[in-house]
Amino acid sequence: MLFLRSSLYFLGTMVAISFIASITIILFFLPFSYRYYIASRWAYFCIWWLRITANIELKVIGKENIPDDPCVIISNHQSTLETLAFQTIFPPQTWVFKRELLWLPLFGWAIALLKPVVINRGKKIAAMKKVITGGSDRLKNGIFVVVFPEGTRQPYGKLGDYQNGGSAIAKKSNNKLIPVFHDSGKCWPKGSFVKKPGTINIVIGKPIDPNSKSATEISNEIKEWTQNQSNKFSI
């Protein structure tokens, strides 16, 4: 039954992305805010469709901590779900991700129109410089920047090393950071096609002043906060 439900979810998202991505690409000439609104309808559909097909709900805690001004969102990474959910929770945003995603037909072409900070993981020094300069530029233009400091998805209940890219963006641009924890991996396990029913907890922490500490200290503080949240919800 779970496989059938997951298959229905997959088929629905494929139809939706084909339609919405095509519209986004056709309307490439529109300002960013309009392109983002159109493209993000796919995320809204996916979250709704997850609830219908897989019985997965979202519980968001701390929405009052989202600042009015653009900031850097630092989150752990377990599945595709959080990249979708964040679009339904936070103001217009863009992401730091590997360039290979742009090669995906329709999806990659549409996402390229949303001002992502695209990096080549094989060139770490150049990638870090691009993350800092590109992220700062997006913030100056009023766009929130989502950074997954672990760099890749982790198994449920695990945290990888937190890199300093997001903290460095905030320090260079003098924009605040907000830590985010979620446990999406319990319903959408890494590398699994099958989705499990349940409630995903998404916790938004209080904004952090980038001038309070060094980039490394901020990253360590966010990781420690995230680990504490993980321990709390795994009980």
What Rg do the C-alpha atoms of the chain give, in angstroms?
A: 17
CB 110 within 8 A of CB 24: yes
Residues 6+ apart with CB under 8 A from 172: 132, 133, 136
Token output for 17? 């992305």
- Report the chain (235 residues): mean pLDDT per 10 consecutive residues: 95 96 96 97 98 97 96 96 97 91 89 91 80 93 96 92 94 96 95 95 97 92 96 82
What local confidence, expressed as pLDDT, does residue 25 receive? 96
Identify the pLDDT of residue 66: 97
pLDDT value of residue 130: 87
What's domain 57-233's superfamily in CATH?
Glycerol-3-phosphate (1)-acyltransferase (3.40.1130.10)
**Residue 47: count of CB within 10 angstroms of its CB:** 19
Do 160 and 150 contact (CB within 8 A), yes or no? yes
